[in-house]
Every structure is written in structure tokens, then in C-alpha cells.
Amino acid sequence: MCRQVYQVHEVEKPAEPSGGIVLLNQFITANLQTPIKSAAKGMNGRVFAKGIIEPDGSMTGLEIARSIDNLSDREALRVMSLYKAWKPAVIKDKTVRQVTTFPVTFRTAAIPNFDSTENALHEYFDKNNTPTSDEKKYKFRNVIPVDERGHVRSDILYQELRSGKWKTLRTIPFKKTEFRAKISGPAQMDSVKAFRISAKMNNWESSYEEVVMQEDGKLLSYSVYPGRGGPPSLGKFYYKNGMLHEEQIVSGDISKVTNWHDNGQIKSVRELGGGKGVVVKNTWDRDGTPNVKEGNGWAKIPGNSYEGKSVFEEGKVIDGSKTGRWTGKLADSTLLYEEFYENGKLTKGMSEFNGKKSDYGNDATTPPQFRGGPSKMYQFLGHNLKNPVSNQGKVVVSFLVNEDGTLEDYKLENGIVESTNQEVLRVVKLMSGKWEPGTLKGQKIKSRYSLVVNFQ
């Protein structure tokens, strides 16, 4: 094996990112976790990382050729070490090792309300609780302790300015819960010890952030929830090594979903919702070969996981829409289902899970529901609930609906007072066995449902 290292001018074909520089920069931007102490000052600079592009597409011997500061330098090296989708340099039809230097751009607006001595963000409000940057109008504030990446690390304090001093009125509890988290891999899902971290008000309306982190500090997910029980407006999901696997950005009723292969090469860009189902924009192989360009080609995209194993869907795309026959398979090519589309609309499908075959039409996915529908459900609640008239507000309970219509894993997502909360939980448990389960590809599945009980 040749260990000689060449300079860029010494090779016939220089090393380059598999999908091109634009896609590498997109990978860097998506994965960069800018240290808040650096970001707070306002940044518009570049760290130059130097290393050796190996024949296997990785980058070794990483070091800093031009620095911004120690924290940013360290983050630049972390991100560049994750990218393993380089096309190596070539001399006489043989791949060789080549030195290269690549810039990592840091660009952030200043964060004037970050207190570096406390490692905390301060959010200020006037007497009407309206956000303000005018010190003369300060009346209330949130004190948000954060870690080096800007994620909340302890209780948030809501304070009032009284006689020139800040007095804590309310504490928003910091929660750190240990659990086994599912992580993405090339063939199947595994689980690792992780911590779910959040701090949110006991208010169903309020927005909040949630982080899932491994023991070593590597992220597994980062989600921003808009409140009112809505799905995340931003979701990032990571491989075990801390590299981004999927990014979901929601705007209105459209969700833009970007996926990456485990070597850092972008895999697919899709849009979901908007009344159009799945719109496939672009897809690439691990080596950077494009398969779908501007909505036309042969796509291979992620599907819903099955029994902890990754599923991929494959078929023809015309103008972004699924067309003709599509298949859903496991990584070992086991066929789980096949579907037929016309102009992006599902016309029929056939599935086989655990030896059970099902046919389905355009309702490939249906949510669980109380037998008889929502009206019967609220009629059941009204008949069984016993609640003092003085209690007002929303109680939100989520639970899993099993394949046989029974319920389990009850969670109080939002409450009013303990007596009312427990009364709602009592009645919800009486509903067990009275539900129609959700379905996926014609098969009954276990799925979570959130029930809102509004007391007025």
C-alpha cells in the first residue's frame, strides 16, 4: 500500500467531493453546531482545515491551517472528520493520497442577550410581557442556562424586576430522562443509552425545544415544537457518530425532508404534504451519482421502518411524482409491499408482513380512532367525566393504540389541576378496547394518539 502523500499539483486528477463542492458545503452547514460563546459575538469567518484525502474517501491527519478561535476550530475538525465521501486523487488510473485544505464557514448574528459569565441567555419583556430590547422598559425576563452549543442545561427562571433587583416568580423545570433511543444505520436500527432533555412550561400552548443526547454528548436528535400539540417545525436526526441523517423543515403544510448517506453524501431531497403526497426533488447514490434530477429519474428513498429495520422505496419519478410500480424493501431486498401510482396518486397496493398479505387502496395510512368516530368518543367522555365546574383549561393525554384496539403507555402532556388530570386519565383508561387501530399498508399497527379534553 502506497503511503506517499501528493500535493494537488502533483496528481493527474485532484481529489474532490463526490457530489461537488456545493453539496459538501450544504453538509457542513447542516451539521455545524456553532459554540454559543463564539456565535454570541457575531461571526463571519472561515476556519481552514487541512488533511489527507485517503483512497477510501475519508480525510485523515486533520489539523487547522487557519484559525478563528479554539472552540470553532474544534467544531470545524469534528464536522470535516465525519465527511467520508471524497473522490480520491488519481495518478495513472490509480487512487493516491492527496493533501487538501478546505474552508469551514461560520456565519452568525450577534447574540447580545448571552451572558458569558453565567452561560445563560436572557430574554427581556416589558410590563405587558412583550419582548423588548429597551433597558428602560425591562420588567420581566427569562434566564435560560445553556451548554456550549446553546441547549438548555438546567431550570429556566422567569423573573420580575423589583426595586432594581430580579426576583424569581416561576421556575420552568429542566427535565433529563434516561431511556434507550433508536438510532439510524445503513441496514437496521439499533438502540443506545441516551437522555431526553427539555424545559417547557406546563402550558400546552407554549413552544419548546427537545434534545436527545448520547452519554458522550453526541446528538441523536434536536426538535423544535411550536406548541398546541403540533409536530416539530424543525427536526434533526443523527447517526450514532453524531453525523446528520435527516433534516425536516416545516413551512405551512409542507415539510422539506433532506437525507444523507452514512458517509456524508446527500441521499435525497423530498417535500411532503401540501396535498401532493411525496414530491421527490433529487436523489443520489453513496458515490454522488445523481439518480433523480429536478424531479425526473429513478428514485430510491427512505420508507417507514419495519420491526426496527430500515426500509427503502424504489420506483420511477416524473415531475417529482411517483409513477407506475413502486416497491418497499428491506436492505437485504426482502419485498414488503408494492404500490401503483398515477400522477403521484396511489391507486392500489399489496403488502406482506410476517406472512400476512393485505390489499389496500389510496388509504395506505390511517390513524387510530374511537369506534364510531369523534362524536362517539366525546359522547363517551361527557357521560363518564366528573369534573368541578371551576376547573378550566385543556388536559392533553397521549397513549398507544395497540393492534387489537387496547390502550397502553398513557402520558399526561398537559394538565390543569391534579384531581382533574387524574379524572381524565381514569376515563381514558376506560376506553381501552374501544378503538380501531391505525393501519399502514393495509396492516394494523401500534400508533400514538393525543386526546385533548377542553374544560370551559
DSSP 150-177: S-B-S-EEEEEEETTEEEEEEEE-EEEE
> What b/e readout covers 16-53, taking b as 16+ CB neighbours within 10 angstroms?
bbbbeeebbebbbeebbbbbbbbbbeebeebbbbbbbb
Calpha distance 348→332 (Å, rounded): 25
Calpha distance 16→25 (Å, rounded): 12
Place of cell 433529563: 176
CATH 3.30.1150 segments of the chain: 369-455
Q: Is 250 helix (H, G, I), strand (E, B) or coil?
A: strand
C-alpha to C-alpha distances, 42 to 35, 107, 109, nearest whole angstrom: 11, 7, 5
Question: What CATH number belongs to 5-108?
Answer: 3.30.2420.10
Q: Which residues pair with 106 in a beta bridge?
A: 45
Q: What cell does 284 get?
A: 443520489
Place of cell 429556566: 156
- Burial tier of 231 (Cβ tally within 10 Å: 0-12, 13-18, 19+): exposed
CB 166 within 8 A of CB 160: yes
Taking alpha carbons only, the member of 428, 419, 429, 413 closest to residue 387 is 419
Taking alpha carbons only, the member of 175, 223, 230, 222 closest to residue 204 is 230
Domain 369-455 has CATH 3.30.410: no
The one-digit pLDDT tens for each residue of the chain (456 residues) are: 568 999 999 999 999 999 999 999 999 999 999 999 999 999 999 999 999 999 999 999 999 999 999 999 999 999 999 999 999 999 999 999 999 999 999 999 999 999 999 999 999 999 999 999 999 999 999 999 999 999 999 999 999 999 999 999 999 889 999 998 877 655 555 789 999 999 877 666 678 899 999 999 999 999 998 877 677 899 999 999 999 999 999 998 899 999 999 999 999 999 998 888 899 999 999 999 999 999 999 999 998 887 778 899 999 999 999 999 999 999 889 999 999 999 889 999 999 988 889 999 877 788 999 999 999 999 999 899 886 555 678 888 999 999 999 999 998 888 888 888 999 999 999 999 999 999 988 888 899 999 998 887
Backbone angles phi, psi at 175, to 5 degrees: -120, 130
pTM: 0.86
> What b/e readout covers 345-381, taking b as 16+ CB neighbours within 10 angstroms?
ebeebebbbeeeebebeeebebebbbeeeeeebeebb
Q: Which residues pair with 236 in a beta bridge?
A: 222, 247
Backbone angles phi, psi at 371, to 5 degrees: -60, 125
Q: Which residues pair with 120 in a beta bridge?
A: 115, 145
CB 455 within 8 A of CB 387: yes
CATH 3.30.2420.10 segments of the chain: 5-108
